[in-house]
Amino acid sequence: MVTIKDVAKEAGVSVATVSRVLNENGYVGVDTKKKVLQAIAKLNYSPNEVARSLYKRRSRLIGLLLPDITNPFFPQLARGVEDEVSEAGFRLLLGNSDENVQKELDYIQTFAQNNVVGMISATSHVDYGIYDALNLPLVLLDRISDEYPAVYADGEEGGRLAAETLVEKGAKQITVMKGPSHIKPAQDRYRGAVEALNRSEASYTVMSTTSFSFEDAKGWAEELFAKYPETDAVIASNDMVAIAILHEALQLGKRIPEDLQIIGYDDIPQCSLSYPTLSTVRQPAYEMGRQAARLLMKTINKEQEIEKSIQLPVQLIERNTTRKG
Amino acid sequence: MVTIKDVAKEAGVSVATVSRVLNENGYVGVDTKKKVLQAIAKLNYSPNEVARSLYKRRSRLIGLLLPDITNPFFPQLARGVEDEVSEAGFRLLLGNSDENVQKELDYIQTFAQNNVVGMISATSHVDYGIYDALNLPLVLLDRISDEYPAVYADGEEGGRLAAETLVEKGAKQITVMKGPSHIKPAQDRYRGAVEALNRSEASYTVMSTTSFSFEDAKGWAEELFAKYPETDAVIASNDMVAIAILHEALQLGKRIPEDLQIIGYDDIPQCSLSYPTLSTVRQPAYEMGRQAARLLMKTINKEQEIEKSIQLPVQLIERNTTRKG
DNA sequence: TTGAAAGCGATACCAT
DNA sequence: ATGGTATCGCTTTCAA
State pLDDT tens for residues B67-125. 999 999 999 999 999 999 999 999 999 999 999 999 999 999 999 999 999 999 999 88
Pair type for strands A150-153 and A280-282: unpaired
**Residues B142 and B75 occupy one common structural domain:** yes
Query: What average pLDDT does chain B have?
Result: 95
* Residue A195 within any structural domain of the chain: yes
CATH number of domain containing B37: 1.10.260.40
Task: Identify the helix (H) or strand (E) that includes residue A316.
Answer: strand A315-317
* Residue A224 within any structural domain of the chain: yes
CA distances from B131 to B99, B121, B311 (A): 15, 10, 22
The answer on pLDDT for A295 being more than 80 is: yes
Rounded distance between C-alpha atoms, residue A60 and residue A147, angstroms:
25
DSSP H helices in chain A: 4-11, 15-23, 30-43, 49-56, 74-87, 101-113, 155-168, 184-198, 214-227, 239-251, 285-300
Rounded distance between C-alpha atoms, residue B172 and residue B162, angstroms:
14
Nucleotide nearest to A28 (CA to C1'): C1
Q: How far is the CA of B16 from the C1' of D1 (A)?
A: 12
Query: What is the predicted pLDDT for the residue at B275?
Result: 87
The answer on pLDDT for B305 being more than 80 is: no
- The DSSP letter of residue B128 is G
The answer on pLDDT for B264 being more than 80 is: yes
Chain-centroid distance of CA B161 in Å reads 22
Question: What confidence category does residue A302 fall into, taking pLDDT thresholds of 50, 70 and 90?
Answer: confident
CATH number of domain containing B205: 3.40.50.2300
**Residues B221 and B251 occupy one common structural domain:** yes
Nearest Cα to Cα of residue B233 among B203, B213, B267: B203
**Residues A146 and A159 occupy one common structural domain:** no
Cβ-defined contact of A68 to B79 (cutoff 8 Å): yes
* Residue A322 within any structural domain of the chain: no
DSSP H helices in B128-238: 155-168, 184-199, 214-227
Query: What is the predicted pLDDT for the residue at A215?
Result: 81
Q: Which residues of B touch A272 (CB under 8 A)?
A: 218
- The DSSP letter of residue B72 is T
Cβ-defined contact of B96 to A113 (cutoff 8 Å): no
The answer on pLDDT for B325 being more than 80 is: no
Residues in chain B: 325
Q: How far is B298 from chain A (nearest CA, A)?
A: 22
* Residue B324 within any structural domain of the chain: no
B47, exposed or middle or buried, with CB in 10 Å at 0-12, 13-18, 19+?
middle
Query: What is the predicted pLDDT for the residue at A134?
Result: 84
In the chain, the amino acid numbered B81 is V
Rounded distance between C-alpha atoms, residue A161 and residue B210, angstroms:
39
**Residues A213 and A233 occupy one common structural domain:** yes
Q: Which residues are registered as beta bridge partners of B96?
A: B66
Q: Which residues of A touch B50 (CB under 8 A)?
A: 50, 53-54, 59, 113-115
**Residues A115 and A185 occupy one common structural domain:** no
| Cβ atoms B62, B95 nearer than 8 A | no
Cα torsion for A133, A136, A141, A144, to the nearest 10°?
40
Rounded distance between C-alpha atoms, residue A146 and residue A259, angstroms:
43
Picking from B50, B93, B214, the nearest residue to A54 by CB comes out as B50
Rounded distance between C-alpha atoms, residue B318 and residue B168, angstroms:
13
**Residues B159 and B257 occupy one common structural domain:** yes
Question: Rounded to 5 degrees, what angle do the CA atoms B92, B97, B99 make?
Answer: 140
Query: What is the predicted pLDDT for the residue at A133?
Result: 83
Task: Identify the helix (H) or strand (E) that includes residue B286.
Answer: helix B285-300
Span A30-44, mean pLDDT?
A: 97
**Residues A70 and A35 occupy one common structural domain:** no
Nucleotide nearest to A8 (CA to C1'): C3
Chain-centroid distance of CA B84 in Å reads 13
Q: Which residues are registered as beta bridge partners of A175?
A: A205, A234
* Residue A124 within any structural domain of the chain: yes
Rounded distance between C-alpha atoms, residue B105 and residue B97, angstroms:
9
Per-residue pLDDT of B220-239, as tens digits, reads 999 999 999 999 999 999 99
Q: Which residues of B touch A74 (CB under 8 A)?
A: 75
The better pLDDT of the pair B79, B145 is held by: B79
Q: How far is B218 from chain A (nearest CA, A)?
A: 8
Q: How far is B205 from chain A (nearest CA, A)?
A: 25
Enumerate residues 6+ apart whose C-beta is below 8 A from B71. Answer: B212, B213, B214, B240
**Residues A185 and A277 occupy one common structural domain:** yes
In the chain, the amino acid numbered B33 is K
pTM of the predicted structure, to 2 decimals: 0.96
**Residues B162 and B279 occupy one common structural domain:** yes
Nearest Cα to Cα of residue A74 among A238, A234, A207: A238
Phi, psi of B121 (to 5 degrees): -130, 135
Rounded distance between C-alpha atoms, residue A244 and residue A13, angstroms:
67
Question: What confidence category does residue A132 fall into, taking pLDDT thresholds of 50, 70 and 90?
Answer: confident
Q: Is the CB of B27 under 7 A from strand C?
A: no
The answer on pLDDT for B24 being more than 80 is: yes
Q: Which residues are registered as beta bridge partners of B260?
A: none
**Number of separate domains in chain B:** 3
Picking from A68, A76, A94, the nearest residue to B70 by CB comes out as A76
Question: What confidence category does residue B304 fall into, taking pLDDT thresholds of 50, 70 and 90?
Answer: confident
Nucleotide nearest to B1 (CA to C1'): C9
- The DSSP letter of residue A13 is S
**Residues B41 and B132 occupy one common structural domain:** no
Span A264-289, mean pLDDT?
A: 94
* Residue B228 within any structural domain of the chain: yes
Query: What is the predicted pLDDT for the residue at A120?
Result: 98
Q: Is the CB of A27 under 7 A from strand C?
A: yes
A25, exposed or middle or buried, with CB in 10 Å at 0-12, 13-18, 19+?
exposed
* Residue A321 within any structural domain of the chain: no
Q: Which residues of B touch A93 (CB under 8 A)?
A: 61, 91-94
Q: Which residues are registered as beta bridge partners of B234?
A: B175, B262
Chain C nucleotides close to protein (CB under 7 A) are: 1-5, 7-13
Rounded distance between C-alpha atoms, residue B262 and residue B256, angstroms:
8
Question: Rounded to 5 degrees, what angle do the CA atoms A41, A47, A49 make?
Answer: 155
Rounded distance between C-alpha atoms, residue B311 and residue B185, angstroms:
12
Question: What confidence category does residue A76 fall into, taking pLDDT thresholds of 50, 70 and 90?
Answer: very high
| Cβ atoms B253, B44 nearer than 8 A | no
**Residues B149 and B296 occupy one common structural domain:** yes
Rounded distance between C-alpha atoms, residue B16 and residue A280, angstroms:
61
Per-residue pLDDT of A159-207, as tens digits, reads 999 999 999 999 999 999 999 998 899 999 999 999 999 999 999 999 9
Phi, psi of B141 (to 5 degrees): -130, 125
* Residue B325 within any structural domain of the chain: no
For A193, the domain range is: 155-283
**Residues A161 and A207 occupy one common structural domain:** yes
Picking from B72, B91, B112, the nearest residue to A93 by CB comes out as B91
